[in-house]
Amino acid sequence: MIKNLQIWLTAFAVVSLYFYGLDHFIMSMQGLPLNMDLTPAQ
């Protein structure tokens, strides 16, 4: 049970991190940087 919970939490953590990085990367690539909280830096 605990192992399953760990698996699911890890999966969500990894994927969330990926999409967070993706948002920063794609917007920066277009010259539209973001702050850490994803608000526009410009």
Partner 1 sequence: MKARRYSSWLMWLVLLVIAVLSFFWSGTLTTANTFNSGFFGAVAASTEIPADMSTAENTELTLTPAPKPTRADYPDVGVSSRSIVWVVAQLHLFFGALVLAVPLFVLVIELLGVYTKDSRYDDMAHEFMKISITAYSITALFGGTLALALFLLYPDLMAYLMRVFGAQMMVYAILFFLESIVLYIYYYGWNAMRYGNAKWVHLSLGLLLNAVGATLMVTANSWATFMMAPSGVNEVGAVIGDIWEVMKGPLWNPINLHRFIANIAFGGAVVGAYAAYKCLAARTAEARAHYDWMGYTSNFIAILAFLPLPFAGYWLMAEIYAYSQQMGITAMGGILAWLFIIQAVLIGTILLAGNYYLWSGMSRTEGSKRYQRFIKYIAVVLVICFLIWVTPHTLILTSGEIAALGGSNHPLLGALGIMPAKNIAVNLMLIFTFMSFQIYRRSDKVATVSWETAGNALMVAIYIVAIVNIIFVGVYYGYFTNTVYKVGSSVIQVVSTLTVIISGVVLDAFLYRKAKTLPSHWGQVSNRAQYALFALPIAFTWLMALMGYVRSSVRTHWHVYTVMKDTSPDNFIPTIGYAGNMMTIVTVLFVLFVLFIFWIANLSGTKQVPPYATHKAPAAERVESTA
* Site residues, partner 1 (CB under 8 A): 4, 7-8, 10-12, 14-16, 18-19, 22-23, 26-27, 30, 32, 38, 40
Q: Which is nearer to partner 1, 19 or 36 (CB)?
A: 19
Quote the least distance from Cβ 36 to partner 1, whole Å.
Answer: 15
27 by Cβ neighbours in 10 Å (0-12 / 13-18 / 19+) ranks as: middle
β-strand partners of 40: 34
Q: Which is nearer to partner 1, 4 or 36 (CB)?
A: 4
Q: How distant is the alpha carbon of residue 36 from its chain centre? A: 10
